[in-house]
């Protein structure tokens, strides 16, 4: 059940409109990559608030730990060392759900109410309705949802929908010691990002910018990037993310076309029978066979 | 119990069992598959014990159907080779559908329409089997672009095969005296003479 202060905008596998009388303020989390020191306080805060614990893994020789998102690690820091303008740069990106305005996971999900988009922009998984098919993984342009091996349910960042519902900032934003994670209305976050981008530009990052990809209608987790022209530098952040055309076709036009086509075939069969009658063995041939028998 | 010993044996017991196994699997797969495809059909998951059970069972039933279908394919493949007579039959299919089979060329055990159905079903099954494996997240993990393509292909092939089976079942209902061949294997000689005259000659020597 959705918290009442989080009105529903969209519900997976539901063809009728959701209640829309109220419109809550659109929120966003802004991750300023240029201010991130890679301390992982956000990762710790996430597991603490949401009470999920990943298995203790082993060191892979890099700072990334765990190495990837899992059903218990809804956010991970991704560290990449790149050379830009003849200098070594250490780019650290906090990865996790982007809370797209046009969410591919929700589009692909076949289970009614397993994925909810609140009118504030948060995209949330309701595991009690999840059937574990993994279509959300197929639909996501950012490779975020993870299916648990234990219970076969999909998990990802909730943007702390439970905290946001009672006017609290997400746990990660609360824990960030450098202010690299900001939280507020999407409008405010864009304004704040503009000041950060201006500052970065002043300091020589003339390609600095805001990552709020329009291919998915904008996101409710945005990044300030020093190299906004090359998002791939940041551990393969996609340049122009969008719901794959194959997913759009599969869970878009194909549905009504297929349903209509099947209905048409079934009804044509019925009406063919009604209008043309059955294809019986002719009396003539039956008599011929009887005659042969008599001989 | 054969009431009329002169009836013609069209299918052996094991062919019939094979066909029923494929048929039952198909019905279960179509019902659960439609549920995952379109929200309008989602309530069908209740037939399987809920959404999660439908998701768990669908691929296993698919494997069973694939295995049973492959056996059936090799059983009937030789009988479904297209001939010139079949092509002529197909070119006149409009007359047939119109209910006038007087000018239709003589057909063997299967007519051109049945043969075309056979090969289309085989093609759909091939696509469904391969794409289904790519989509089976509980067992496998493939690159996401491949899974996306597989999901689309699975849906298209699924819809086509359901449409083909509706036609297949309707043709059996429409053509009186056919369904019994699926139940107990025999057809009357008159039925054979009317619908599959070349096969009738072959079976009776007339």
> Residue B68 has what pLDDT?
98
Phi, psi of A77 (to 5 degrees): -85, 135
- CB contacts of B39 in chain A (<8 Å) are 13-15, 110, 112
B52 is a domain residue: yes
Q: Tell me which residue has tokens 């899974």.
A: B147
Q: How far apart are the first and last CA of chain B?
A: 26
Q: Nearest CA to A160 among A47, A67, A31? A: A47
B196 is a domain residue: yes
DSSP symbols for A49-75: HHT--PPP----SSS-SSSS--SS-S-
Please say if the pLDDT value at position A3 is more than 80: no
Judgement on whether residues B66 and B87 belong to the same structural domain of the protein: no
Judgement on whether residues B113 and B69 belong to the same structural domain of the protein: no
> Residue B50 has what pLDDT?
97
Domain boundaries, chain A: 8-249, 253-294
- CB contacts of A247 in chain B (<8 Å) are 148, 151-152
Q: Do A269 and B98 touch (CB under 8 A)?
A: no
Q: How many CB atoms lie within 10 A of CB A157?
A: 28
Q: Do A137 and B137 touch (CB under 8 A)?
A: yes
For residue B142, give the 3-state DSSP assignment. Answer: coil
B34 is a domain residue: yes
**pLDDT tens track for B148-172:** 999 999 999 999 999 999 999 999 9
Q: Which residues contact A145 (CB under 8 A, 6 or more apart)?
A: A97, A105, A125, A136, A137, A154, A155, A156
* Any B CB within 8 A of A58 CB: no
Judgement on whether residues B85 and B24 belong to the same structural domain of the protein: no
B3 is a domain residue: no
Please say if the pLDDT value at position A156 is more than 70: yes
Q: Give B79→chain A minimum CA distance, Å.
A: 23
Phi, psi of A210 (to 5 degrees): -95, 135
For residue A120, give the 3-state DSSP assignment. Answer: coil
Q: Which residues of B are marked as active site?
A: 168
The mean per-residue pLDDT over the stretch A203-228 comes to 97
Domain of residue B16: give its range: 12-76
Judgement on whether residues B170 and B70 belong to the same structural domain of the protein: no
The structural architecture, per CATH, of the domain A8-249 is 2-Layer Sandwich (3.30)
Closest residue in B to A104 (Cα) is B148
- CB contacts of A259 in chain B (<8 Å) are 38, 40
Q: Give B110→chain A minimum CA distance, Å.
A: 16
- Write the CATH number for B108: 1.20.950.20
Examine the predicted complex and report whether its ipTM is higher than 0.95: no
Tokens of A146: 């993870």
Phi, psi of B93 (to 5 degrees): -60, -25
**pLDDT tens track for A81-104:** 999 889 999 999 999 999 999 999
Tokens of A252: 């878009």
Distance CA A18, CA A295 (A): 77
Please say if the pLDDT value at position B62 is more than 70: yes
> Residue B96 has what pLDDT?
92
Distance CA B132, CA B161 (A): 14
Stretch among A1-10, A190-199, B24-33, B181-190 having the lowest mean pLDDT: A1-10
Tokens of B105: 């060329």
Helix (H) or strand (E) holding B202: helix B197-204
Q: Do A131 and B54 touch (CB under 8 A)?
A: yes
Please say if the pLDDT value at position A1 is more than 50: no
User: How far is CA A201 from its chain centroid?
Assistant: 31
Closest residue in A to B157 (Cα) is A258
Q: Nearest CA to A239 among A225, A221, A220? A: A225
Judgement on whether residues B48 and B87 belong to the same structural domain of the protein: no
> Residue B56 has what pLDDT?
98
**pLDDT tens track for B105-123:** 999 999 999 999 999 999 9
Judgement on whether residues B116 and B174 belong to the same structural domain of the protein: yes
B50 is a domain residue: yes
Q: Are A227 and A84 in contact (CB under 8 A)?
A: yes
* Any B CB within 8 A of A274 CB: no
Is the whole-model pTM more than 0.90?
A: yes
| Closest Cβ–Cβ partner in A152, A244, A277 for B148 | A244
B69 is a domain residue: yes
- CB contacts of A279 in chain B (<8 Å) are 99, 101, 174-176
Helix (H) or strand (E) holding B8: strand B8-9
B4 is a domain residue: no
Percentage of chain B exceeding pLDDT 70? 99
Judgement on whether residues B126 and B194 belong to the same structural domain of the protein: yes
The mean per-residue pLDDT over the stretch A243-254 comes to 96
> Residue A19 has what pLDDT?
81
B189 is a domain residue: yes
Tokens of A232: 């791939």
Distance CA A123, CA A29 (A): 13
Q: How many CB atoms lie within 10 A of CB A37?
A: 12
Q: Which residues contact B201 (CB under 8 A, 6 or more apart)?
A: none
A-B C-beta contacts closer than 8 Å: 128
Considering Cα of A190, then A195, then A198, then A199, what sign does the dihedral take?
A: negative
């Amino acid at each position: 059940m959705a918290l009442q202060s989080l009105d529903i905008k969209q519900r997976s596998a539901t063809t009728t409109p959701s209640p829309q009388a109220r419109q809550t303020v659109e929120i966003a989390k802004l991750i300023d990559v240029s201010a991130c020191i890679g301390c992982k306080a956000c990762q710790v805060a996430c597991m603490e608030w949401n009470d999920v614990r990943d298995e203790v893994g082993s060191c892979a020789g890099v700072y990334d730990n765990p190495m990837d998102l899992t059903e218990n690690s809804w956010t991970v820091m991704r560290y990449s060392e790149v050379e830009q303008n003849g200098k070594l740069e250490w780019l650290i990106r906090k990865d996790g759900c982007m809370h797209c305005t046009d969410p591919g996971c929700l589009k692909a999900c076949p289970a009614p109410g397993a994925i909810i988009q609140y009118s504030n922009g948060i995209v949330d998984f309701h595991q009690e309705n999840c059937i574990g098919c993994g279509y959300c993984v197929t639909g996501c342009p950012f490779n975020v949802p993870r299916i648990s091996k234990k219970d076969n349910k999909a998990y990802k960042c909730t943007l702390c929908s439970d905290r946001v519902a009672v006017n609290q900032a997400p746990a990660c934003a609360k824990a960030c010691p450098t202010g690299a994670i900001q939280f507020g209305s999407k409008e405010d976050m864009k304004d704040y990002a503009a000041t950060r981008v201006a500052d970065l530009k002043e300091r020589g990052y003339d390609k600095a910018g805001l990552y709020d990809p329009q291919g998915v209608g904008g996101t409710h987790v945005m990044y300030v990037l020093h190299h906004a022209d090359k998002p791939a530098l940041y551990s393969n952040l996609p340049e122009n993310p969008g719901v794959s055309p194959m997913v759009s076709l599969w869970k878009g036009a194909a549905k009504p076309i297929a349903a209509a086509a099947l209905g048409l075939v079934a009804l044509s069969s019925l009406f063919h029978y009604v209008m043309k009658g059955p294809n019986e063995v002719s009396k003539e041939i039956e008599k011929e066979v009887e005659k042969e028998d008599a001989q | 119990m054969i009431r009329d010993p002169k009836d013609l044996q069209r299918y052996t017991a094991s062919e019939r069992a094979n066909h029923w196994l494929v048929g039952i699997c198909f019905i279960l797969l179509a019902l659960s598959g439609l549920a995952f495809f379109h929200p309008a059909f989602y309530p069908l998951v209740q037939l399987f014990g809920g959404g999660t059970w439908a998701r768990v069972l669908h691929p296993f039933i698919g494997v069973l159907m694939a295995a049973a279908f492959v056996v059936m394919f090799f059983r009937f493949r030789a009988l479904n080779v297209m001939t010139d007579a079949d092509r002529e039959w197909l070119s006149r299919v409009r007359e047939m559908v119109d209910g006038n089979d007087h000018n239709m060329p003589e057909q063997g055990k299967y007519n051109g329409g049945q043969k075309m159905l056979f090969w289309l079903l085989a093609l759909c099954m091939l696509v469904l089997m391969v794409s289904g494996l790519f989509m089976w997240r509980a067992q496998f993990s493939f690159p996401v672009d491949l899974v996306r393509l597989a999901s689309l292909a699975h849906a298209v092939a699924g819809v086509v095969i359901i449409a083909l089976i509706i036609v297949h079942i309707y043709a059996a209902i429409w053509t009186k005296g056919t369904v019994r061949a699926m139940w107990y294997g025999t057809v009357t000689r008159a039925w054979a003479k009317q619908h599959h005259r070349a096969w009738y000659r072959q079976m009776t020597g007339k």
